[in-house]
Structure 1
Amino acid sequence: MVLVLLLSHLTSKILGSSTVIAGSYVLAFYRGCYYLMDLLKLLCFLISVSLGVAAKHADLEVYWKSKLPNTPMPKAVRDIIQNGKPPGVGGLSASPQAIPIRFGRRYFTYGHGVVRDGKNPTEAQLRNHQNVTVFFLKRDLHWGSIMNLQFVNLLDNTAAFLPRQVADSIPFSSKSVPEILNKFSVNPDSVQAEAIKELIADCEEPVIEVEDKYCATSLESMVDFTTSKLGKNVGAISTEAQKTDPKISKYVIVDVFKLNDDDKAIVACHKQDYVYAVFYCHTLRRTDAYRVNLVGADDGAKVKAVVVCHEDTSAWTPKHVAFQLLKVKPGSVPICHFLPEDHFVSWALKH
């Protein structure tokens, strides 16, 4: 700005009687230059990050294999590495139709699109999902059970992973939200901005006794959290649907396979709504993970789904959506749910 004023003053001296007019034109010109410089800096940042992501795909796969040599990469992770969108608001979606589902302090959402409002589901959200099996009782997890399910492709328009060194250089805190919104050109009054604020606030909440949690801003940090809790000999799986369709359809359970030992914790990682790939990962105790094979009742479409069953829900709030949908009380029965395609679970394998 000092340079602008000096140039304005110099121009005024040269042009004499046109002092005010000349100074105004110069000031306007250089303000425009500053504006263009800001746009160019943003463009250069996004291009450099995009090139960095593309260049690091192989490195991400190598890192995974070095830390988890016996663990095939789940589709939820593989698809982001291969097809993730460049960082920015284009890879961030938000929809008030989705239903927020809480576990401990954090939640994932069910339905097309996501909303991170941190609130209990509204009557409209419950009404929109009353015909779909969001939660179900563990006693119904068996061969022949018929469930109304919706498998939506959530990975088509999702943001890519940043390399750890890039992610670590970008602020990720509530006090830095204005800087984050500005850096990625997110409208401060938009639903996307609210999603960013909510995610960061949740990530900053203290850890509760029954849960270890971590918001992983890179694949490397997500892998490190998982191995710190389970070791290197782990299994990892995500839901894979042969056909994705927002339409609710009937599916029949044809096989159920338990993944973890009864006394062993699992790590669940939930893809979050953000301008680049961020996963909310947490340990779950007294929780069982299952691979469940499903077949479409009408078209025979196959799904390899992940189901998580919570054995003890006594600490959940009585207002939890599961109790509202199933008409049961906290701690009375084990409660299960399917994981969306952009989430995955890990568990320790037997030696």
Structure 2
Amino acid sequence: MASSAVLLLILMVVAATVHGHTHTPGGTPAALFWEAALPDSPMPESIAHLVQKGTDHSPLQQHHSAAMILPNACLGYSYRIICNSPAQQASSVEGLFFRESDMRVGRTMTVALPAFDPAPFLPRKAAERIPFGNLADALYRFGITPGSQEAARVGETLSACREAPLAGSRKACATSLEGVVLSATRMLATSRPLVAAASALPNSGLPRRTYTVQAIKPLGGGGGGYVACHSRAYPYAVYECHMMEGSSEEAYVVSIRGGSGLPTVDMAAVCHFDTSNWIPAHPAFKILGTHPGGSPVCHFLPYADLMFGVKMADNA
């Protein structure tokens, strides 16, 4: 089923390219691929920015630091890592996590996400020519000093990508936007069309304040499984995608507003109903007052992270 879905996707992309779909952001191959693979989901501005940035300012010619200390370090596939520093464990990610009961129209929650400018996407052909997985080769190719903090971040990303999936889950690392979409397609293994969502916040983040929930929409109409893809520290865009089998997760687009006269922000969010495999020291438990296997843990997706789902309803 998975291989059939991927083959169908590739045929759709070829057909779209032949028929000259050129109104995607920048008309890049990655944008054309996205349009053909996800016709019901316009490419998020954050992703379009990273695609264009990788075309205009290639990481192969310009150095992009991999020494990132970000909230998505707390959203790792295995949920066995904590964060990048003890001080970050609760204070700087407090505005990322929330309770499922907070996700009601009219309810308020404190939200804050820091500024984040992730590495740009390499064109797929360039990414496929670069060996991925060898730390020494990566440090040499991108001029990173061995033993530096940046080298440590690159090593952590390579280790995370080599890590075996947990029981009842699927995972993959992708080094191009096309690879991200294909990874989600393989994991979801369905003939139904896919939809995608990303948080529509700017890369300057969201200021800490009280936000009111304006609307909630299940991704794809609800059900069908979800794949979350998080950007990782590397000189060019590397995404770690993961999926829990069964019904232990639900994904949403949650519209929030920080006050009268302020714009509404559409945020991609996911709720985890089974946290029994998470480490007890994970900061979400301290922030929300729960524990592994306790009440659901929900969180927003940081800038340029992606969530994929199956389109289950015509109006989704």
Range of TM-score over shorter length: 0.7 to 0.9
CA-to-aligned-CA distance 1:172-224 (integer Å, 9 cap, x gap) = 11xx2112111111111221111100000110111222221110011222121
- Residue 162 of structure 2 is matched in structure 1 by 204
Q: SS where residue 252 of structure 2 aligns?
A: strand
Aligned to 2:193: 233
- Aligned-residue offset at 1:68: 3.0
The change in CA–CA distance for 1:256 and 1:320 in structure 2 (over 3 A counts) is same
Which sections of structure 1, spanning at least 5 residues, go unmatched?
1-55, 108-117
Please list the CA deviations of residues 277-296 of structure 1 after superposition, one character each: whole Å capped at 9, or x if unmatched. 11111113410111111111
Match of 1:181 in 2: 139
Q: Secondary structure at the match of 1:91?
A: coil
**Structure 2 residue matching 1:185: 3-state secondary structure:** coil
Find the partner of 2:288 among 319, 322, 326. 326
The answer to whether the Cα contact below 8 Å between 2:217 and 2:252 also exists between their aligned partners in 1 is yes
Q: CA deviation at 1:248?
A: 1.6
Is the 1:121–1:321 contact (alpha carbons within 8 Å) kept by the matching residues of 2? no
For the residue of structure 2 that corresponds to 1:313, the secondary structure is coil
Paired position in structure 1 for 2:12 = none
Q: Where do 1:121-160 residues align within 5 Å?
A: 122-126=85-89, 128-129=91-92, 132-155=94-117, 158-160=118-120
Question: Structure 2 stretches of 5 or more lacking a match?
Answer: 1-25
Cα deviation 1:74-105 (Å, max 9, x = unaligned): 33322211234421674335355757314542
Residue equivalent to 1:8: none
2:299 to 337, 340, 344: 337
Aligned counterpart, 1:192: 150
The TM-score normalised by the length of structure 2 is 0.79
Q: Is the 2:116–2:205 contact (alpha carbons within 8 Å) kept by the matching residues of 1? A: no
Q: Secondary structure at the match of 2:250?
A: strand
- 1:284 and 1:126 mapped to 2: Cα distance? 24
Q: 1:70 to 1:161 in 2, by over 3 A?
A: same
Choose from 228, 236, 241 the match for 1:281. Answer: 241
Deviation for aligned residue 1:144: 2.1
Query: Contact between 2:215 and 2:256, CA under 8 Å: does it hold in 1?
Result: yes
TM-score, scaled relative to structure 1: 0.72
The counterpart of 1:78, out of the listed 48, 54, 71, is 48
Q: Count how many residue pairs are aligned between Structure 1 and Structure 2.
A: 281
Alignment of structure 1 residues 1-351 onto 2, 5 Å: 58-84=28-54, 85-87=57-59, 90-95=63-68, 100-105=73-78, 118-120=81-83, 122-126=85-89, 128-129=91-92, 132-155=94-117, 158-173=118-133, 176-230=134-188, 231=190, 233-241=193-201, 244-245=204-205, 247-260=207-220, 263-285=223-245, 286-297=248-259, 300-350=262-312
- Deviation, 1:139, is 1.0
Q: Give the root-mean-square deviation of aligned CA atoms.
A: 2.7
Secondary structure in structure 2 of the residue aligned to 1:333: coil
Output the amino acid matched with 2:139: L
- Cα distance between partner residues in 1 of 2:45 and 2:279: 32
Question: Structure with the greater relative contact order (CA < 8 A, sep ≥ 6): 1 or 2?
Answer: 2
State the structure with more CA Rg. Answer: 1
Q: Is the 8 A contact 1:143 1:255 kept in 2?
A: yes
